[in-house]
Structure 1
C-alpha cells in the first residue's frame, strides 16, 4: 500500500474512532470526578468583537489549539487566509488582506504592537545596499517585521484590526496586530512540541509577590528547526524570555513587560560546500514597555493613560565564501576618477559581515473623558500625544577590500550609525458617541491623527489621517425571537506609512571600469587602473509617504443559533515604496595594452606613462546603472470577507463555522526604470539607455483573483476534555496574471517572426512575440528624448525595444477548484496534562495545475505536516 493510501486510511480510522467516542457520550453516566468534569466549552476560532470596525480576536485557547510556531501562523484563523506550513528556517511576516504571504508592501504596512510597543522594521538595514537586497541570508529587510522572535507560548491574546483602526494607531497601511503577553496569576505551565522538523519547549509561571507587591509573570521558550535532516548544519534556534509585572494602586495601575530573544540562523553547508564556507544570521534583542492608567474621575477628565517603550536589537549576518581562479582586478577607492586598482588573489576566502543595531523609543499620554451628554447619549472622548525616535547604531557593512565578496565589487563598506535618526511627533483625537433611538442603537467613532516627521536634513509636512467608523444596531433582542441581532456598519479612513531608513538614506553606488591592466609576474611589474563613477545619492528628500484609503461596509446578524458577519471592502494604496533602475552617463579612458615583458607603466596625475612616455588611449562613453528608491507601487483591492457560524448540533456536540473571502487585487508599479542593453555599437559600448514603465519583461501590473471557503467542524466534549477541529479548505478560484498598462499611450504590440508589427490583442495572443518600446531614451550626454513608434525600426535604437520573453507572458493562470483537509485535536488528561495533535493536508492532496504563462506545471497546497504537543500545568 502506498504512503498516500496509508495516510488516508489512518485519517479515516481516526475519524471513525472520534465518531464512536462522540456517539458513546450519550450513554455515559455522569461522573463527578475531577478527571472527567469540564466546566465549559472554549472558543478555538477568531471572533468579531462587539464594536464598530472590522477586527478579529484570537484568544489563548485558539492559540493553543492551532499549535502555532510563530505569530504569523495565527493569521490562518482570519477569513480567507489559506493554510501554509510553519517554517522557522525562513523569515516570517504578517500580512492582512493579501493574495500572498510574501507581498512585501502588505507586510511592511502591517503594524505589530506587543503590549503597546511597536515592533516595526523601518530601521532594518540587513542588506548589501539596494542593489543587493536579496543576497543576504534570512533577512526580512524592506518587508515586515520578522515575527519569529515572538513565541506564541508567551501570548495571551491577539487582536487583528483588518478595517479602519482607531486614530491612536499609526505608521501602517494594511492593518494593526495587537499582541497582549501573558500576565496575571497562573500555574506552572510546561509545553513540549515535536514535529518532523521542529522541537519547541516553553515554561511559564505567574505569581503574587507578597500582599502588596503585585503580580509577577515569568516565561521562557526554546525552538529548534531543521527543514532538511540530511543537513543538520542548516538550523534555526530561538531562545526567548519574558518578564511581566502588574501592580494596582489606589487610583492607578502599572504594567511593565520585558521581552528578550536570541535567534541564530545557519545556512549553506551541504555536499558541495568547501570546508570553511558558511552563512549565519544572528538576531539578539529586547523590548521594554510600561503602560498604566491614572483614574482622576474629574468632570473634565476620567483618566490618563501613559505609555513608554524601548526596543533594541543586534542583527548580524556573516558570510564566508571561497573563490578560486578569479584572476580579477578591483578597487576600493571612494573617489571618482582614475585610481590604481588591486589584483585579487587567485584563491581566497572572503569574509563579509553586516551588522545592524536598530533602536526605537516612544512615549505617549492619552486623556479619556467618559460621560453622559443627554439621556441615552454616552460619549467617550480621547486625545493624546506621542513622541518617537528610531535609528540604527550598527557597524554596517564590513569586508576586506583585498578579499572582497564578488557581489560587493560595486560597493564599499558603510557604517549604519552615521545615518541620522528619524523623529516622529504625533497628536490624535477621537470621539465615540453612543445614542439610542427607540430600540435601535447608533455608535459613531470619529477621529483624526496628525504626524510630523523630522530627520536631520528633512522636515516632512504634517500628514493627517481622518478616520470614521459607524455602526447602526437595528435589532437587539435577548428573548426567544428568531432574529436576535441585526446591525450594519461602515468605515472610512486614511492610513500613512512612515519611511524606511534604507529608502530614505540609500548608499552610494560605485561603477568601476577597467582602464588598463599589465601583469608581468616574472619581473614583478604589475599595474591596473580603474575609473570609478560615484553616485551622489545619500539622501532621498523626494521620498513620499505611502497612503492607503480604506472603505468598507459590513453586516452582522444573529438568527436563531446562526451568526453571520459579512464585510465588503475597498482599499487604494498609492506611493508604495519600490526600487527602480537609474542611469547616468560618464566617460573613461581605455589605454593601449602593453604586451611585452619588461615594461614599467606608472599612473600619474596626467594618466599612464610607460618608460617616461605617455600611453595612448581612447575615450569611451558608457552608463552607470544603479538602484534607487521610489514611490512606484499602487495597489487597488476590493473583496468580501464572510464568517458564518451555523450553530451547535447538540446530538453531535459539533458546531460548524464557515468563513472565507473573495479578493481582487491589482498591483502596479508606476515608476520609470532605466535598462541599459548589453550590446556593442561599432565596437564600443551601446550609446543609449531605454527608460521604461515596466520591468525587463514588459510588465508592470499583476492581478490576483481568489475565492475560497473554510469549513470548520468543531467537536467539543467537555466531560472528557476533548476538542477536535476538522477543517476543509476549498479554493474555488485562484487566478493570476501579468499585464501592462501604460500611462504614456505606449502599449505592448505584436510582431511576427520577421519583426514586423501586426494587429492583435497581445494580452490574449499566444502565437506571436510581444514588444514594448521605451517611453524615453537617454543619449551619452544625459539628455532624454521621447521614443516614437517609428524609432523601433531604426537600427541604432532597435536594441532598446523590449521583448516579453515568451508568447504566453500575459496569459491568465487559473487554478481551481482544489481542496485540502486539516486536523487539530486537543485532549485534557486529568486536571494537569493536555496533549494535542495537528496535521495539515493529511490526505496529501497536491494536485498539479498547468501554468499557461510559463507553460509548466505547479503543485498546489502545502505538503503533509504533522506534530504533537504536550502541556503540563501544576
Structure 2
C-alpha cells in the first residue's frame, strides 16, 4: 500500500503537466456607463486563479485548465457577476458587465443570504442589508439570522457574539468559543484575567464594514482557537466616492466619512494602488434624559491594496494589502452631577490593529497560490475609579502578598507595610486596573487546485503561529496611603501563550450524471500550545473536520420544473479552544483573618493584626483544552421558486474549563482584648508588634516608661483552600433546528416574504464532585468553621438546567426599483420559551422536599420536581478539620439530630435551601411578539436615507410565567425591545 501511494505521488506531477491549459483575457466595464472598472477582481473559482483589472478594465488569467469553470468578477460598489463557461481554447475578449450596487436593481436582498456553494451553514450580510438595519454595533446583525431577535442598539453594555447558544448563564463558556475576525485579524480575549467570555466587539467601527459572514456550522480546519462558529468581518477595499454617514437615535449619534482613493500610476505605468480611509465618531449614552454615562468610539482606518504584476512578477502576480486601525474610546461617568462630587468611573477601550496580506499566484503544477497573513492587536482597557470614603474610626487596608502575621502600621512609618492604618475622616482615592491585551498571528498557506477529468480537486496546506500576552500592570492605586484593600498582580510578568498549528484539507468536487455533483471536504488541524516558564509546558490537540454536500439538482436548466434544485449536506468536526489567562494564571485570592483586636485609642485608631494567607493557584497536570464536538445535517430545496433551507445541529462541549477548590487544615494564633487586660501600658502609649511566624503580640511603651510586654494568645483551628484550574467531566449538550423559507416573489407588487426561525434546546447536569466550605461563618462555639461538604455539581441548590426555545419571524419586503426604495416589516415571535432548574445525581438523590422553612430533614414525601415545595440540598459526603476522610452526609446528619446536637447544628450550615417554593418548577412563558419596520430610500446616486422603528406597535403587554405564576412585562427585560427608532442619512460625492 505504501509503494502504491509513493508511485501515485511520483506520477502526479507528470499527469498534471500533461493537463491542457489556456489563457482567459478580457475587460470589465460598468454596465450603465460602459466605462472600465479598475481594480475589479476576476476569479476562476474552480482552479482558484485570479487577476485584477487595470485602469482600462483589462485582465488576463494564464494557465487555466480546460473544462467547465466559473468566472466571478467583483468590485467595491458593484454587484458580483458570475458566469459558468467551458474552456477549450484561449479565450480573448471576455467581457464582464458590472451593475452598480443600488436600489434600482431587481433582486435586492436586505436579509442574511445563504452561501449556496458552502458545504456547511454559512450566511452573508452585505452592505445593503447592513445599511437597512442601520448597524451601530456588529451585534445588530443578530436579528438577521434565522429566528434572530432584534435589540435596540447600545454600546453601554459589552456586546459579544454567542452563536447557537442561549442565555449567557449557560455552562460551557459558549461566547468564549465564538471567534470574531476583522479582515483576518482575530479579536481575541485569551489574555483576559477577569473573565472567560468572548471578545468585546464594541470598538469595531460599523461604518467601515462592507459585509459580514457568519459560519455557524463546521468551519474549515484553517480556523482554530474556536468552539462554536466564527464571524468574519470584511471592511471596504477598492475605489469609492466620498461617503458621509450621519446616524441618530435617542441614545446614539454617529458621524463617519470614508473614501477609496486611487493613487494613480508611475511613469512606467505601474499602478499606485488604492487607499481606503474611514473616520468615525460614535457616542452612545445610557439615558438620553441624563446623558452623563456614555461610551465613545473615535476610530480611523486605513487600508492600502495593490497588485504587483510587472517585472519579475509579470507571470506570477502578487496581491498585497496592508491595513491599520486605531480606536480611541471607552466609557465615562465623570461629568454626572448625580454622583458625589469628585467621584467618577472611566474605562478606556483603545485598540490598534494592523494586518498585512499577500497572495502570490504561482500557477505551478504543484502549487496554485501561496498566501501569507500577519496581524497584530494592541489594546488598552485601563479602568479608573475614584471613590469617596469616610470612617468615624481608623480603618486598616491590606496589601501584603506573603503569608504570615502582620500588624497595621502608619503609612508614614512604613510605606511598604502589609497592613496600612488609614486615619479616621473622609478621603478620596483613585484605583486603576491596567489591562493591556496583546496578540499577534502569522499564517502561511498554500493552495493547489487541479482538475482530473471532470473532478475538481483542491488541497490546502498551511501553518499558523499566534501568541497572546497582557502588557498591563494590573490593579494599582494613585495613593497607597489611603487605598482600600487590594493586591498588586502585574499582568506583564506573565509569559506569552504561544500556539503553533499545522493544517491540511482536501476539497473534492465530483460530478455525478448530468445534473448532480458531490462535494467532499476533509481536514485535520494539529496544534501545539507553548507556555514558557509554566508547568503546563506544551499541550497538543487534534481537530478533525469533515463536510459533505450532495447536489441532486442544480437550478440551471430546470426553470419551469417544480423541483428546481435540491441539495443535502452533512458535517462533523472537533474544535479546540485555548484557555484564557484567567484559567492558566488566575489572580490569587487572599484570606485575611483578623487575629488581634486591640482597643481603640483616643485618636480613633485600633492597630489590628491579620494573618494573611494567599490562596495559591495549584498546577493541574490533568488539565486539557476545552473541546467542542459539532455535527450538522442540512438540506436546500427550491420548489417552483420557493427556496427552503433546513439545518439541524448538535453541539457537545467536553472538558469545559472551570475553577475548583481544595481544602486543608491549618492553625493560627489568636489574641483578643481579654488577653490585653494584663497589659499595664496605657492604651494611648501602646505600640504593637507581632512575630510574623508565630503570631505572638508584643506591646511596647512609646514613652519608654515601661518595658515591652508579651501577650499570650490562643491557638485556633481552621480550614484554608487553594484554587486550581480543571475540566468538567460533564458534557454540555446543545441541539437545534434552523430554517429559512423564501417564498416565490410576488412580482405584481415586487414583494418577497420570508419565514425563518429556530428551535434550540440545551441541557446539562454537573456530576462532578466538588468541595465547598463556608469559611466565612462560625461554628456553634464561635470558632472558625471546620467542615467540608462534597457536593455533586457544587453547593448550589441545583446542579443543572434545561431550556428550550422556538422562535419564528416573518419578514415582508417590498422593493420598488423605479423609485429606489425598499420597505420591510418584520414580525418576530416567541412561540416557546421554557426553562427549568435541575438537581440530579447518578444513582442517588441530592435534593429533597421539606415541610417548612425551619426543617432541615426530608419530609415524608421527599419528591420535589413539579411540586411547589421548599427544598434542601445535601452534600454527598462531608469531612472535617480533624478527619479528612469523606463520610456519607445524610446518614450522619439524621443520626446527629437525635444523638449529637452540636454536630447536627454545625452540619446544618452545609445544607443549601431554596428561598421559594417554585425553584424546580417548569417555567413556560406565554407567546409574545414584536413588530419592526424599516425603510430605505435612495435619492439618485448622491444620497440615501434609512428609518427604522422597533416594536412599531408599542407592545407593552405582559407574559405569564408558569413557574412564579405571575405576569412579567415583555419590555422590562430582554424579551422584546422597547419602542425605539432611528434615522440615517448618507451622502455620496
How does the TM-score come out when normalised to structure 1?
Answer: 0.90
Which residue of structure 2 aligns with residue 52 of structure 1? 119
Secondary structure of 2:582 counterpart: helix
Cα distance in 1 for partners of 2:605, 2:753 equals 82
Do the aligned partners of residues 670 and 580 (structure 1) sit closer, same or farther apart at CA in structure 2, a change above 3 Å counting?
A: farther
Cα distance in 1 for partners of 2:773, 2:224 equals 37
Do the aligned partners of residues 61 and 667 (structure 1) sit closer, same or farther apart at CA in structure 2, a change above 3 Å counting?
A: farther
Which residue of structure 2 aligns with residue 15 of structure 1? none
Which residue of structure 2 aligns with residue 130 of structure 1? none
May I ask how many residue pairs the two structures share in their alignment?
820
How far off its partner does 1:239 sit? Answer: 0.7
Which residue of structure 1 aligns with residue 80 of structure 2? none
How far off its partner does 1:37 sit? Answer: 9.2
C-alpha contact 1:93 1:101 (8 A) present in aligned 2: no
Which residue of structure 2 aligns with residue 608 of structure 1? 697
> For 2:503, which of 416, 428, 431 is the aligned residue?
428
Which residue of structure 2 aligns with residue 676 of structure 1? 774
> For 2:727, which of 621, 631, 647 is the aligned residue?
631
Higher mean C-alpha displacement, 476-485 vs 323-332: 323-332
How far off its partner does 1:788 sit? Answer: 3.1
Structure 1: 5+ residue stretches without partners: 1-33, 128-140
Do the aligned partners of residues 695 and 841 (structure 1) sit closer, same or farther apart at CA in structure 2, a change above 3 Å counting?
A: farther
How far off its partner does 1:124 sit? Answer: 2.3
1:164 aligns with 2:205: no
Cα distance in 1 for partners of 2:328, 2:619 equals 33
C-alpha contact 2:178 2:227 (8 A) present in aligned 1: yes
Cα distance in 2 for partners of 1:571, 1:283 equals 33
Counterparts of residues 247-326 of structure 1 (less than 5 Å): 247-250=306-309, 251-267=317-333, 273-325=339-391
C-alpha contact 1:312 1:359 (8 A) present in aligned 2: yes
Which residue of structure 2 aligns with residue 764 of structure 1? 866
Cα distance in 2 for partners of 1:547, 1:196 equals 42
Which residue of structure 2 aligns with residue 113 of structure 1? 181
Query: Quick one: higher RCO (CA 8 Å, sep 6+), 1 or 2?
Result: 1
Structure 2: 5+ residue stretches without partners: 1-99, 266-270, 310-316, 409-419, 700-706, 897-903, 971-975
C-alpha contact 1:465 1:494 (8 A) present in aligned 2: yes
Cα distance in 1 for partners of 2:104, 2:291 equals 43
C-alpha contact 2:616 2:722 (8 A) present in aligned 1: no
Cα distance in 2 for partners of 1:580, 1:359 equals 28
Which residue of structure 2 aligns with residue 499 of structure 1? 579
Cα distance in 1 for partners of 2:288, 2:236 equals 34
Which residue of structure 1 aligns with residue 612 of structure 2? 532
How far off its partner does 1:838 sit? Answer: 0.8
1:123 aligns with 2:191: yes
How far off its partner does 1:599 sit? Answer: 6.0
How far off its partner does 1:702 sit? Answer: 2.0
Which residue of structure 1 aligns with residue 4 of structure 2? none
Which residue of structure 1 aligns with residue 741 of structure 2? 644
Which deviations, in whole Å up to 9, do the C-alpha atoms of 1:654-690 show, x marking residues without a partner?
A: 1001111000012444552514162432232222122
Which residue of structure 2 aligns with residue 100 of structure 1? 167
Do the aligned partners of residues 643 and 784 (structure 1) sit closer, same or farther apart at CA in structure 2, a change above 3 Å counting?
A: farther
Counterparts of residues 455-466 of structure 1 (less than 5 Å): 455-456=531-532, 457=534, 458-466=536-544
Cα distance in 1 for partners of 2:286, 2:683 equals 56
Which residue of structure 2 aligns with residue 443 of structure 1? 519
How far off its partner does 1:277 sit? Answer: 1.1
Cα distance in 1 for partners of 2:103, 2:667 equals 84
Cα distance in 1 for partners of 2:835, 2:957 equals 17
Counterparts of residues 150-299 of structure 1 (less than 5 Å): 150-211=204-265, 212-250=271-309, 251-267=317-333, 273-299=339-365
Secondary structure of 2:129 counterpart: helix
Cα distance in 2 for partners of 1:336, 1:265 equals 38
Secondary structure of 1:684 counterpart: coil
Which deviations, in whole Å up to 9, do the C-alpha atoms of 1:6-51 show, x marking residues without a partner?
A: xxxxxxxxxxxxxxxxxxxxxxxxxxxx9x9924442211111122
Do the aligned partners of residues 112 and 583 (structure 1) sit closer, same or farther apart at CA in structure 2, a change above 3 Å counting?
A: same
Counterparts of residues 795-834 of structure 1 (less than 5 Å): 795=904, 796-834=906-944
C-alpha contact 2:839 2:846 (8 A) present in aligned 1: yes
> For 1:844, which of 942, 954, 963 is the aligned residue?
954
Secondary structure of 2:647 counterpart: strand
Cα distance in 1 for partners of 2:750, 2:355 equals 43
> For 1:621, which of 697, 717, 736 is the aligned residue?
717
How far off its partner does 1:404 sit? Answer: 3.0
Cα distance in 2 for partners of 1:844, 1:791 equals 59
Which deviations, in whole Å up to 9, do the C-alpha atoms of 1:65-108 show, x marking residues without a partner?
A: 11111111112211122222111111100111122367682211
Do the aligned partners of residues 95 and 699 (structure 1) sit closer, same or farther apart at CA in structure 2, a change above 3 Å counting?
A: same
Secondary structure of 1:63 counterpart: helix
1:558 aligns with 2:626: no
Cα distance in 1 for partners of 2:217, 2:235 equals 23
C-alpha contact 1:506 1:539 (8 A) present in aligned 2: no
Which residue of structure 1 aligns with residue 567 of structure 2? 487
The structure having more radius of gyration, on CA atoms, is 2
C-alpha contact 2:763 2:802 (8 A) present in aligned 1: yes
Which deviations, in whole Å up to 9, do the C-alpha atoms of 1:813-854 show, x marking residues without a partner?
A: 111311110111100122211000011111121332344545
Do the aligned partners of residues 782 and 416 (structure 1) sit closer, same or farther apart at CA in structure 2, a change above 3 Å counting?
A: farther
